[in-house]
Amino acid sequence: MGKTLYEKIWDAHLVAQVGTDNLIYIDRHLIHEVTSPQAFSGLEEKGRKLRCPERTFATMDHSISTRSLALDACGDANKLQLVTLKENCQKQGVELFPVGHKRQGIVHVIGPELGLILPGMTVVCGDSHTATHGAFGALAFGIGTSEVEHVFATQTLKQGKAKTMKIEVNGKLPVGVTAKDIILAIIGKIGHAGATGYVMEYAGSAIEALSMEGRMTICNMSIEAGAKAGLIAPDKITFDYLQDKPRAPKGEDWDTALTYWQSLKSDADAHFDKVVTLHAQDIKPQVTWGTNPGQVVAVDEAIPEPQSISDPVARTSAEKALKYMDLKPGQKLSEVAISHVFIGSCTNSRIEDLREAAKVAQKGKVASGVNAIVVPGSVAVKEQAEAEKLDSIFKAAGFDWRLPGCSMCLGMNDDILGPGDRCASTSNRNFEGRQGRGARTHLVSPAMAAAAALAGHFVDIRELDA
């Protein structure tokens, strides 16, 4: 029997088997200020060394201001975390992209931009959205801080093998429907924990037609279905994206790599433990109504009636979510007024996302009473957007144009919502309190977020496109 892409990468990274443990080699270790300090200090306490500083790359993204380059702009605790990262990287010889560096940005945006993430690699980071890098056909997953320390010391991780799930999305996406809508529709279909214990591989003509940015959006949210990782087989779109990236292999190394990468796909007779199929033409613009990403409907559908949900646990969750979100069953999201819009995050802050949002933003002005911010994912994205004058479009429409960082996705800086605020957000989690205590988050695509900013409520982007 053939092998899945996951199995091929797994086999190529197996260092040793010790009992039931598999020791897997890690090619790239990305770190940021929030989940690394305790790993560095653990290493030091034990008198251990970082095994491969040259495979480790650091950025500042979570705790930084999006209004100022000053490290103390968000208080002393945030500053200490950033300074600690800087000191740790200096001490251990890790390359750092600090605030103010022309390559700084959200860890999952800059890794691909630099060409650090290549097909067939294993990639880890103390961050659950590491799954993003699966878009390159790399096995990428989030780890805890103890595991960060383990990778520091050994460049390996002990892992159990995951089950495999193939998600096939075939056909052509309707106008106005994006990668974000595909992944929200997938999570809506299989559920918030539907892929727990699995590595998902996204396939089918609708996935193959996506740009690398779109593929990253899809893989990024694999964790929101509970998956260990998400994968997309590399193809010409992947190779074209990588070819001119600064850290991608060059010359002979590129040729060797390319030959290997072309073999990186699941074999036709490979076995998947589960297969889920969606038809692209059935997918509509999505908006979450609840407090997990699986609680989602199409913008033209009504919020479901909890009584109609047969599973008692899901029913109770829906009731609690509607209470927190201050919404009613049967209501349409287009009737719900919003107070905030956040365009950014490792899910949707890349150049293509900003282009889509700007295309909508140029049609009007941010509605009165709505506070809208655009936070590019990296300095490189920001510069590209400014070269294309997207910043002028956003500013003219009344959006705030900010400095790169994780920002309001989780509000570890001062980009935070207040109780009762309602936000159309291009981020990845609509958990209670995620963007601020008592705040309500609705996950949408960049175009849907921009359209909501102009209207003051959710609108069906397809009607604007018509």
Query: Closest CB to another protein among 21 and 240?
Result: 21
Site for another protein in 227-246 (CB under 8 A): 228
For residues 131 to 170, the per-residue mask of contacts with another protein, x marking binding by CB under 8 A and - elsewhere, is -----------xxxxxx-xx--xxxx-x-x----------
- For residues 344 and 434, give the distance between their C-alpha atoms in angstroms, rounded to a whole number: 15
Asked if 65 interacts with another protein (CB under 8 A), we say: no
Reported in sequence order, the residue ranges of 171-209 that DSSP labels E, i.e. its strands, are 198-203
Q: Which of 94, 118, 283, 366 binds another protein (CB under 8 A)?
A: 118
- For residues 328 and 336, give the distance between their C-alpha atoms in angstroms, rounded to a whole number: 10
Strand pairing of 400-401 and 371-374?
A: parallel
Query: Closest CB to another protein among 5 and 223?
Result: 223
- For residues 430 and 432, give the distance between their C-alpha atoms in angstroms, rounded to a whole number: 7
Asked if 268 interacts with another protein (CB under 8 A), we say: no
Asked if 91 interacts with another protein (CB under 8 A), we say: no
Structure tokens at 233: 């087989």
Structure tokens at 309: 């949900």
Site for another protein in 279-298 (CB under 8 A): 291-292
CB-CB contact of 449 with 342 (8 Å): yes
Between the two ends of the chain, the Cα-to-Cα distance in Å is 48
Query: Closest CB to another protein among 227 and 448?
Result: 227
Asked if 37 interacts with another protein (CB under 8 A), we say: yes
Helices 351-361/379-387 angle, 10° precision? 40
Q: Which of 3, 7, 73, 84 binds another protein (CB under 8 A)?
A: 84
We find the least distance from the C-beta atom of residue 173 to another protein, in angstroms, to be 28
The secondary element (H helix, E strand) that includes residue 114 is helix 107-114
Query: Closest CB to another protein among 87 and 282?
Result: 87
Asked if 63 interacts with another protein (CB under 8 A), we say: yes
Helix, strand, coil % in the chain, rounded to nearest 5: 40, 20, 40
Q: Which of 90, 316, 335, 386 binds another protein (CB under 8 A)?
A: 316
Angle at 227 between CA 179 and CA 304, to 5 degrees: 65
Query: Closest CB to another protein among 185 and 195?
Result: 195
CB-CB contact of 293 with 192 (8 Å): yes
Asked if 192 interacts with another protein (CB under 8 A), we say: yes
CB-CB contact of 119 with 136 (8 Å): yes
Q: Which residues pair with 203 in a beta bridge?
A: 168
Site for another protein in 397-426 (CB under 8 A): 410-412
Q: Which residue has the tokens 């990668």?
A: 179
| Sole window of 233-241, 310-318, 338-346, 444-452 interacting with another protein (rule: CB under 8 A) | 310-318
Q: Which of 34, 123, 280, 357 binds another protein (CB under 8 A)?
A: 34
Asked if 260 interacts with another protein (CB under 8 A), we say: yes
> How many residues sit in the footprint of another protein (CB under 8 A)?
76
Asked if 197 interacts with another protein (CB under 8 A), we say: yes
We find the least distance from the C-beta atom of residue 461 to another protein, in angstroms, to be 28
Asked if 306 interacts with another protein (CB under 8 A), we say: no
We find the least distance from the C-beta atom of residue 245 to another protein, in angstroms, to be 13
Site for another protein in 348-407 (CB under 8 A): none
Q: Which of 35, 56, 104, 222 binds another protein (CB under 8 A)?
A: 35
Measured CA to CA in angstroms, residue 449 lies from 178, 357, 409, 419 at distances of: 12, 7, 14, 20
- For residues 50 and 425, give the distance between their C-alpha atoms in angstroms, rounded to a whole number: 38
